[in-house]
Amino acid sequence: MSKQGKLALIAFVCFFLVPVMAHSVMAATAPVVTDGTDGSYPWWMWPLILLVVTFVMGVAAVLGGVGGGVLFVPIISGFFPFHLDFVRGAGLLVALSGALAAGPGLLKLNLASLRLAVPVALIASTFSIVGAMIGLALPTQVVQIALGATILGICVLMLTAKKSEVPDVPTADRLSSALRIYGVYQEASTGQVIDWKIHRTAQGLVLFIAIGIMAGMFGLGAGWANVPVLNLLMGAPLKISVATSKFLLSITDTSAAWIYVNNGCVIPMMVVPSLIGIMLGSFVGVRLLRVAKPGVVRWIVIGMLGFAGMKALTKGLGL
């Protein structure tokens, strides 16, 4: 078997270990709700389990081209005994940490554009506060059902959405011209210098209202929605869209994270190992990216999200 094949196999096995582990965890911890001692793991097992599972998620997130938050919330809420309130709080902090870690480098490389991010962030961060408040006010089952439906929608989006390396933007629109949202970057693989500008700015900003609400409501992060809007609708080059989206999460998730923190939805015992696991997994994922076949892993990620989405849906419906 080739090295790439082995890596794909490892990723595949890891992915199937996540639900298997999670199922065994759930089975072992069922008595915790009523008892708390008999038949449950000792407390120190939980950070270790979270560390391992989120490490695998971190690897998969990089290889699958998704953010950590979008994997974390449906999988952890679907297969672990933690209440959705705490999973969303932890999910936002996980997504926020990933964005904070990536943001400075992307800004310095001029791949993330502050001029593009700031107007978008104003809208998205405001509405992620609204989303967080709605999410915390709604009954858990309703949020769980909506989360399941959203995750399944993300699967469809991942299956159908196209990408455009450098979209054709004949002329910048008035709003983006007034805001001076344009830039230049050099494509490292070809050395080509690419001038970019955007259009349909107003429509894009309107869509960020919905993206902000969903990010706050479900604690998912929102890279899955940011990139298509920035790239396909507003016409920013793919690299600029991906980098700006990642940086944007550091702002959007900050506002929603504060709502969850201030409402008591953060338990450090859950947050810290998850955050470390995802970050370590991301480091390994970046190294594997050079040799792995992202296409294969992407399919596995879509499969996992579909599975987790169905689980969230059935859990919310009480099936």
Partner 1 sequence: MTESSQRSLQATPEQIVYANLLEKGMYLGLLILLVTYFLYVFGILKPYIPLNDIPKCWTMGVSDYLHHCNIQSGWAWVRMVYYGDFLNFIGIAMLAGVTIVCFLRIVPVLWKDGDKLYACFGLLEALILGLAASGILSGGGH
Nearer to partner 1, 7 or 136 (CB): 136
Residue 157 touching partner 1 (CB under 8 A): no
To partner 1, the closest distance from the beta carbon of 136 in angstroms equals: 3
The stretch near partner 1 (CB under 8 A) out of 91-99, 149-157, 198-206, 290-298 is 91-99
What dihedral angle (degrees, nearest 10) is formed by the CA atoms of 286, 155, 53, 145?
150
DSSP state of 17: H
The stretch near partner 1 (CB under 8 A) out of 4-12, 135-143, 235-243, 311-319 is 135-143
The stretch near partner 1 (CB under 8 A) out of 18-26, 30-38, 54-62, 286-294 is 30-38
Residue 268 touching partner 1 (CB under 8 A): yes
Rounded distance between C-alpha atoms, residue 221 and residue 182, angstroms: 25
Residue 318 touching partner 1 (CB under 8 A): no
To partner 1, the closest distance from the beta carbon of 307 in angstroms equals: 22
CA 149 to chain centre: 16
Q: How far is CA 93 from CA 44, 159, 206, 315, in A?
A: 21, 27, 25, 24
Q: Which of 149, 233, 261, 310 binds partner 1 (CB under 8 A)?
A: 261
> Of residues 213-232, which lie at the interface with partner 1 (CB under 8 A)?
none
Contacts of 277 (CB under 8 A, 6+ apart): 50, 51, 52, 53, 54, 55, 57, 58
Q: Which of 1, 38, 139, 318 binds partner 1 (CB under 8 A)?
A: 139
Q: Which of 2, 37, 160, 190 binds partner 1 (CB under 8 A)?
A: 37
Residue 266 touching partner 1 (CB under 8 A): yes
Contacts of 215 (CB under 8 A, 6+ apart): 124, 128, 131, 221, 222, 252, 253, 256
